Structure 1
Amino acid sequence: MRTSIICQECSRINNNWAVFYLDTFRDDGVYFGCCPKGHDNAIATQTLRHEMLFEIGVNAIKDTYYREAISSFAASVERYYEFAIRVICRHSKLADDVLQRSWKSVSRQSERQTGAYIFLYAATFREVAPTLSETMTSLRNDVIHKGILPDKAQAVEFGEASYQVIQNGVQKLRAECLDDVNAELVAQMRKTIEKYGDKFPRSTQVTQTALNIIQDISGGYGPFRQVLSARGIPLP
């Protein structure tokens, strides 16, 4: 999948109106290289891992790769769980070295991560954490572990369920722990920027995605099907 990257020099020449070019999504969020006009760029995006994976899932639906859509949405939910765990631990003033050593014990086991998220969320907010239903979890397992090939309706249903889990969770995190959400975002961005090394010129950007942690959704958020419609994806 490809994403839009801003070229600072092209934008400067264009009277400071942003000029973008396409590049392939990178795992580390740092884009080195030249725009089509040959200008060197080093761009770091503020897109979080779960946001990137969710966007890949949406585009997989558009491209009719429904199995890949479900696997990307499932991975997005898991990485949202990780982000929430880090925010809640930061909110409780847990020392970073304790968090890192503890995370190492569960980093390769998604079920343990889900359990950690569920109980940290419950202990902190005194309510049940938003998670995928048993039906959606079963669909995810069938697709990923049994090789079931889902249809478009199933991919949209799973995407919608994943969207609601993440957005409902983010609403709560922003309402109760906004300073910690922002601190975790800054910490993750700092790690990304470290990968610049001595590369110049450099800049950062916010990529337009269906999920965006910095967006205020305290008053609600648009439905998932609206996300699909905005991308020109026909509904099943």
Structure 2
Amino acid sequence: MKLEFHCWKCAKGTPGRRVTAPFNDSSVYRFECAQGHVYEIVLAQLRFEVLAETGMQALVDGYYRDAVASFAAALERVYQLYCEIVALSRDIDETVFKSTWKLVASQSERQLGMFIGLYMLENGDVPPQLPKKFVEFRNKVIHQGLFPAENDAVDFGQAVVNLVQPLLNSMMPRYTQEIEAFMIRHFENAEGAGRSDRNKHRVFFDFILQFDTEADDWDPAPADLSAELVARRSREIAD
């Protein structure tokens, strides 16, 4: 799975203008095009968005177990994000939240339980959840070594996207200030990493999930993974 970047100093059509780098565990990426133009960029998207994108890329490449694992991990990181944003809205100190999250970080069920409780208290309603059949499917893939068929992996990814995107949409207007503060902290942490002698550019890529406080549309529909899969494979053939 990789991140693609087009050098904006090279004219369109210049050989080697498109460069790639594998996703990493930070938000900082260093690129050098064939003409020697060097960039160090800060990826605007958060961990859950990157995980969902790697899931989409795994579908394109035919790695269906990896796709399921990535979408499942993305969902867990969304639960974490929700809890952290709610904590910010309640003026909970960052260190207190981190210490609390450590108590649940090693077990998915504990993370889910923390999300369920906070969502109920915040909204007075039952939180959105994956249908039972997809939970069972994920467990078979992750814990029992099941090799999923393409359509099953796509269906699972679609179920995650169908759950996550509306949740993100609902968070935007309600927690706008908290999300903006969270993103400022994200950028500050990222821009403090890497080489300090090089200017870093913030770049927002077109990933499968949309979570952008500066977007014109705060209520985008969930992506259609089947259509996206066809479109991306067609682009790969064209390239």
TM-score between both structures, scaled by the size of structure 1: 0.88
Question: Which amino acid in the other structure matches residue 204 of structure 2?
Answer: V
Question: Which amino acid in the other structure matches residue 88 of structure 1?
Answer: V
Alignment length, in residue pairs?
A: 227
Aligned-partner SS, 2:198: coil
Question: Which amino acid in the other structure matches residue 5 of structure 1?
Answer: F
| 1:21 to 2:22 alignment | no
CA distance in structure 1 between the aligned counterparts of 2:40 and 2:86, rounded to whole angstroms: 32
Aligned-partner SS, 1:231: helix
Provide structure 2 residue ranges, at least 5 long, that are not aligned to the other structure: 235-239
| 1:78 to 2:76 alignment | yes
Deviation of 1:6 after TM superposition, in Å, equals 4.8
Deviation of 1:158 after TM superposition, in Å, equals 0.2
Find 1:102's aligned residue among 59, 82, 100: 100
CA distance in structure 1 between the aligned counterparts of 2:102 and 2:86, rounded to whole angstroms: 17
Deviation of 1:230 after TM superposition, in Å, equals 3.3
Report if aligned partners of 1:6, 1:205 keep a CA contact under 8 Å in 2.
no
Aligned-partner SS, 2:3: strand
**Residues 147-179 of structure 1: CA distance to partner in whole angstroms, max 9, x if unpaired?**
111101110110110001110210111132122
Change (3 A) 1:221 1:98: same
Change (3 A) 1:33 1:222: closer
What residue is the counterpart of 2:166 in the other structure? 168
Provide structure 1 residue ranges, at least 5 long, that are not aligned to the other structure: none
Report if aligned partners of 2:29, 2:41 keep a CA contact under 8 Å in 1.
yes
What residue is the counterpart of 1:132 in the other structure? 130
What residue is the counterpart of 1:190 in the other structure? 188
Deviation of 1:205 after TM superposition, in Å, equals 0.6
**Residues 111-149 of structure 1: CA distance to partner in whole angstroms, max 9, x if unpaired?**
111111111111112222222121111000000100111
CA distance in structure 1 between the aligned counterparts of 2:69 and 2:99, rounded to whole angstroms: 28
CA distance in structure 2 between the aligned counterparts of 1:145 and 1:198, rounded to whole angstroms: 42
CA distance in structure 1 between the aligned counterparts of 2:80 and 2:46, rounded to whole angstroms: 11
Question: Which amino acid in the other structure matches residue 24 of structure 1?
Answer: P
What residue is the counterpart of 1:231 in the other structure? 232
Deviation of 1:75 after TM superposition, in Å, equals 0.7
Report if aligned partners of 2:85, 2:179 keep a CA contact under 8 Å in 1.
yes
Query: Superposition RMSD on alpha carbons, in Å?
Result: 2.0
What residue is the counterpart of 1:38 in the other structure? 36
CA distance in structure 2 between the aligned counterparts of 1:47 and 1:132, rounded to whole angstroms: 23
Question: Which amino acid in the other structure matches residue 230 of structure 1?
Answer: A
What residue is the counterpart of 1:112 in the other structure? 110
CA distance in structure 2 between the aligned counterparts of 1:44 and 1:187, rounded to whole angstroms: 13
Deviation of 1:62 after TM superposition, in Å, equals 1.2
CA distance in structure 2 between the aligned counterparts of 1:176 and 1:60, rounded to whole angstroms: 33
What residue is the counterpart of 2:63 in the other structure? 65
More moved, 213-222 vs 46-55: 213-222
CA distance in structure 2 between the aligned counterparts of 1:222 and 1:79, rounded to whole angstroms: 19
What residue is the counterpart of 1:218 in the other structure? 219
